[in-house]
Amino acid sequence: MSLSLEPQVKRDINWITIAYLLGLPLSAFLLFSKAQAEHVFFWPIIVYAIIHYSIDCLCITVGYHRFISHKAFEAHPAVKALILFAGAGAFQNSALVWARDHRVHHREVDTDDDPYSINKGFWYAHFFWMFHKDPKGIEKKTPPDLKKDALIQLQHRFYLPLAILVGFLIPMFAGYLMGSAFAGLYVGAILRLISSGHCTFMINSVAHVLGTRPYSVNNTARDNWFLSILTFGEGYHNYHHRFQADYRNGPVWYAWDPSKWIIFGLSRLGLAHGLIRVDEEKIRLARMEVAEQKLEQKGLDIATLVKKRMEVLQIAERIQALREDLEKMKAEGKAKMDRSERALVYACKRKLKEMKRARNNAVKQWKEQRKLIQSLPRLQY
């Protein structure tokens, strides 16, 4: 029995990935004294490494993740080509494989079929899952939209030479121009790739363990602002798992999410369009629902809160309908509006304002009710 299992286990191990993932830190360690002797830590190469690190991270967050995996926006073909070219240098596989695995992660999150389920252990979710050729949950079938995309297919086909060119040869050439190809290899490639790789991997490990859950308690994903600083905004993972189609991971304006600012900037330059933005009413209601679930888990009676939230929901639906009416009226009467049409628009705007006031009042009452419920256990003792 054991004899027949052994070759199967051997076949399942992805030796090339293991050699890459363990070989990088090992070579950084073995080459450290040579690096020190050759004074490779000079400012121009450090600045180069930081820039290339940012390119790695942004190609993954803006490109592989929000654009290709989630279709949170549409990019200009030039932007797409750039993402696929530079993104290969991050050594995180082709966009096709990355997006295919990531979609399964969202669909099967925390189950046995989640390719990087946190329930299989912190380090498994971080990077041990890649040590297997076919971790459970990985689909062999390529999603049709990725299959018929010529650019994505092209990158997939030439992934390895592209990755070596962008990930290693370009940094070495940059280092050579600055006086040391070895500095380019050590700082610009090895140290950079260790950093950008493990920062991305932390989204699958740390962001499923440490942080808050304001938008959903149905999975392990967490919002973690500190991780967002390291990963260009990907740390708001709880929001992302609830609203994966949104081009923002941090929906509030002050959330540190450079990826959303870059996508928005690209749209302003005409290089991206169709940005998906979840309605603020929907986001607020999700937060309210989760706050109620947390109180319920503490054994508190949330019936009055749920009733109040339903009131907010009804007003939110009215607001949404009024917004749509207003948009329609504006679109229809774009060229010129007669007096009665202008009066209709005015009445619609007034009603919208009224509804927003009613919503604010209902939310305020919900918050007061929540405070009251939270204080109940203390009153009982």
Report the interface residues with Zn ion, using CB under 5 A.
Answer: 221
Shortest CB 257 distance to Zn ion, Å: 14
Closer by beta carbon to Zn ion, 71 or else 356: 71
Cα(180)–Cα(169) distance, rounded to whole angstroms? 13
Cα(8)–Cα(2) distance, rounded to whole angstroms? 10
> Residue-wise over 94-107: b if at least 16 C-beta within 10 A, else e?
bbbbbbbbbbbbee
Phi, psi of 269 (to 5 degrees): -85, 0
Shortest CB 288 distance to Zn ion, Å: 23
Cα(312)–Cα(352) distance, rounded to whole angstroms? 14
Residues 6+ apart with CB under 8 A from 54: 232
Shortest CB 204 distance to Zn ion, Å: 6
Shortest CB 221 distance to Zn ion, Å: 5
Residue 223 forms beta bridges with which residues?
A: 212, 236
Short-list 261, 274, 259, 249, CA closest to 76: 274
Shortest CB 114 distance to Zn ion, Å: 8
Shortest CB 190 distance to Zn ion, Å: 28
Cα(26)–Cα(29) distance, rounded to whole angstroms? 5
CB 166 within 8 A of CB 31: no
Closer by beta carbon to Zn ion, 58 or else 221: 221
Please compute Rg for the chain using Cα positions.
Answer: 25
In this structure, what DSSP letter does residue 334 have?
Answer: S
Shortest CB 73 distance to Zn ion, Å: 14
Closer by beta carbon to Zn ion, 198 or else 367: 198
Residue whose Cβ sits closest to Zn ion: 221
Strand 272-273 to strand 74-75: parallel, antiparallel, or no bridges (unpaired)?
antiparallel
Closer by beta carbon to Zn ion, 221 or else 363: 221
Shortest CB 202 distance to Zn ion, Å: 11
CB 280 within 8 A of CB 334: no
Closer by beta carbon to Zn ion, 234 or else 292: 234
Closer by beta carbon to Zn ion, 196 or else 205: 205
Closer by beta carbon to Zn ion, 278 or else 344: 278
CB 267 within 8 A of CB 273: yes
Short-list 128, 100, 105, CA closest to 115: 105
Residue where the block lists tokens 């030796």: 15
Distances (CA, A) of 67 to 76, 170, 331, 366: 11, 25, 29, 37
Residue 132 forms beta bridges with which residues?
A: 13
Closer by beta carbon to Zn ion, 186 or else 232: 232
Closer by beta carbon to Zn ion, 31 or else 209: 209
Closer by beta carbon to Zn ion, 92 or else 180: 92
Shortest CB 203 distance to Zn ion, Å: 6
Cα(2)–Cα(268) distance, rounded to whole angstroms? 61
Residues in the chain: 381
Shortest CB 7 distance to Zn ion, Å: 33
The Cα diameter of the chain in Å comes to: 87
